[in-house]
Structure 1
């Protein structure tokens, strides 16, 4: 069975609403129809596993014309509802799976708030979908980094640089010691910097750096586009010797990401920009665990989880939960994905991040924290390594900074944290 968890706000009896949800998304509709036999319902009908009240609201979170016509304007219960859907209703079809566990539930008149919180699959069923091509172990092997987080940065300025200017910057960042570099999420195939020209210019510098040092820095080229174009760009990255492609998951969609996975063995760097539109409201959209589960079935290798103490709205516990789920196996095979921390990160936010997550298996990306370091990008990257060393030694950042000028300059510039 495919087990789903929802938070539901409703003025109606929750047993009736949960049963209606299960019927709507499986073998039933609002009235029984011809051919809807007891045998069919037993085989293909979803089952309500549990309902539990977790709160109450005095007014509806969202308007419902249906509820207003019924005069249902009073207090509403907020419930946790768990429903199992038969795997046979889906087969192996990722868009259909998403339609089953979410679909029209958001539009039901009986609910004034509904959020899909989690999607849990049997390991054998999960294994029938796409797996990461590189995942954590492959990403580490490709970059040649073990025993610490992968440190990286983002091309800044994110827009306006020519392919050669981007390549110059990448070369500087490679020389500074970056493990990983990525395009910004809004860097598409611009007239002033087409993605194919960026790939060729940057990969020439990355190969040169590899030949000189033995290390191939991983560059996540943003190839977000329609599906055929993404396949072409992925092919070019492979021809040029690259190892990673970045995709804006929400704007390409599950099917396009799954198609890209089937086409290439590049690491797919999943960027979740736009997720706030479906995740920030407590009673609308999709929780991060459900969201990540679906995109992991599409075969991504890395997943953005935002950052702690950064510039976005996420609570530290939300970021922690997202990262830890990335590090959990969904099948008997190693299908873990690399959590990617970004957004206002720097050396001072690293120790707190590592303590909360409890693992070094993560990418820690700093834009301003590296690019705006007062002593330059090399010092910015050094400050991250020094912060990691301080944590490993059980030393405070302030004490460690007394003998490490790069860390001291970061603390002076960005503030004392961690």
Structure 2
């Protein structure tokens, strides 16, 4: 029988083996009291199984408030498994099983989902991304190196014409990728329909003149019907990307958008911090991104090195590597493209390239481009040249001697 495997970091004031059995029961056939209907045969067939417990250490205080009091709390690695029959190849029901009521059990004083191994049935049920890395490169014409990108800033408050002016400068400057901020969807000052039509006029005219069509990720986040209609407008106007905020639309929203979409889906992870910031609660990125990639995300945000947020570099690198790894071993599925953002400049290029071993990514810089003292075009050129240096293994300062835009950028990239 095919099984689903999930691994956790667990802290408990109870005996770890007993706590593990409580979790397994809660997330399958058991409850807080023994029931006659949970026969040995039913439990054998449908119950979650404790596969492994590895004790890591002990503490005198619990990581999380509430729950049972104890003189000693034990931290351990826990692996559980469930028969595929319990959920079927269903992402929403998988979510309820691996990340449902187990977090609030009184035996649990800390719990974090750290790994997930899914049977091939999920790859058969969910096609994953339609475009991914290869399709994105084809649409943008960027055959080698990262896509150099940026975000419209300020995030909110610009008019349509002010947004168009930024896009005009960016496409003239040679940018590959532009995105709406996650806060900008269909606000009264910059309505979605008007913004799409006006921005695409600029992008299409530039493409006609130069042969280069910039990819713009319009934020269509909304209700299902709204997203379908907004997607259709993007396509009708010649757009090549749609952006959605994952935690806002949910797995079903992304799955339905994927069914409808004719362009890559740029998946934003806004809200990720509340799922991960406490090391004793929530998710690691690796299992979380598996669900969204199966649901159809072509691009996924992973933060960036030396970012403006609280996430350390090792976590960002692990996230990017997980996005580039297979979703399910042995499954033939298109690869998702990681997106680096958050306080990025060319200073992070070499370390990013070294950390993930490739340039199959989108590197977005806002201030790192718009703040260039010689203008937006020079900002785009400087970031691109920083990546040339990274991929050729040339120190940034040395490479900058032959490029004025990069040399000037080093003076304000701090």
TM-score by length of 2: 0.96
Task: Give the distance between the partners of 1:137 and 1:389, measured in 2 at CA.
Answer: 20
Residue matched to 2:56? 54
2:390 & 2:191 partners in 1: Cα distance?
Answer: 42
Say whether the 8 Å CA contact 2:128–2:297 is kept in structure 1: yes
Name 1:86's counterpart in structure 2. Answer: 83
Aligned counterpart, 2:218? 221
Instruction: Note the C-alpha offset of 1:109.
Output: 0.4
Measured in 2, the distance between the counterparts of 1:267 and 1:56 equals 47
Structure 2: gaps (5+ residues): none
Alignment deviations for residues 20-40 of structure 1 (CA, whole Å, 9 cap, x no partner): 111111122222323222222
Q: 1:295 and 1:230 mapped to 2: Cα distance?
A: 17
Partner of residue 283 from structure 1, selected from 258, 271, 280: 280
Distance in 2 between residues matched to 1:392 and 1:98, nearest whole Å: 39
Q: Match of 1:396? A: 395
Equivalent residues of 2:89, 2:121 under 8 A apart? no
**Of the candidates 242, 245, 249, which is equivalent to residue 248 of structure 1?**
245
Q: In the aligned structure 2, how far is the partner of 1:169 from the partner of 1:343?
A: 19
Q: Which moved more, 1:175-184 or 1:161-170?
A: 161-170
2:319 pairs with 1:317: no
User: Deviations along 1:192-216, whole A, 9 cap, x unmatched?
Assistant: 1111111111111111111111121
Q: 1:23 pairs with 4, 22, 25, which one? A: 25
Q: Distance in 2 between matches of 1:59 and 1:305?
A: 33
Which of 9, 12, 20 lines up with 2:11 in the alignment?
A: 9
Cα offset, 1:280, TM superposition: 0.9
Range 116-125 or range 37-46, more displaced: 116-125
Contact 2:127-2:333 at 8 Å conserved across structures = no
Unaligned runs of 5+ in 1: none
Per-residue displacement from partner, 1:161-181 (whole Å, max 9, x unpaired)?
221221222121011001000
TM-score after normalising by structure 1: 0.95
Number of residue pairs matched?
410
The within-5 A match list for 1:13-412 is 13-64=15-66, 66-67=67-68, 72-331=69-328, 332-412=331-411
Deviation at 1:6, TM superposition (A): 0.7
Which 4+ runs in 1 deviate beyond 6 A? Answer: none
C-alpha displacement of 1:383:
0.9
Q: CA deviation at 1:351?
A: 0.8
Task: Rate the CA distance shift 1:379–1:8 in 2: closer, same or farther, 3 A.
Answer: same
RMSD of aligned Cα (Å):
1.3
- Other structure's SS at 2:410 match: helix
Deviation (angstroms), 1:92: 2.5
Conserved 8 A contact 1:90-1:96: yes
Give a deviation string over 1:323-382, Cα, whole Å, max 9, x none. 011111124213321000000101111111110111110110000000111111111111
Measure how far apart 1:124 and its partner are.
Answer: 4.1
- The whole-number CA distance in structure 1 between the counterparts of 2:229 and 2:122 is 31
Contact 1:60 1:112 in 2 (8 A): yes
How far apart are the structure 1 equivalents of 2:110 and 2:379? 45
CA contact (8 A) 2:234 2:240 kept: yes
Where 2:125 maps in the other structure, the secondary structure is coil
The secondary structure found in structure 1 opposite 2:258 is: helix
Select between 290-299 and 326-335 the one with higher mean Cα deviation. Answer: 326-335
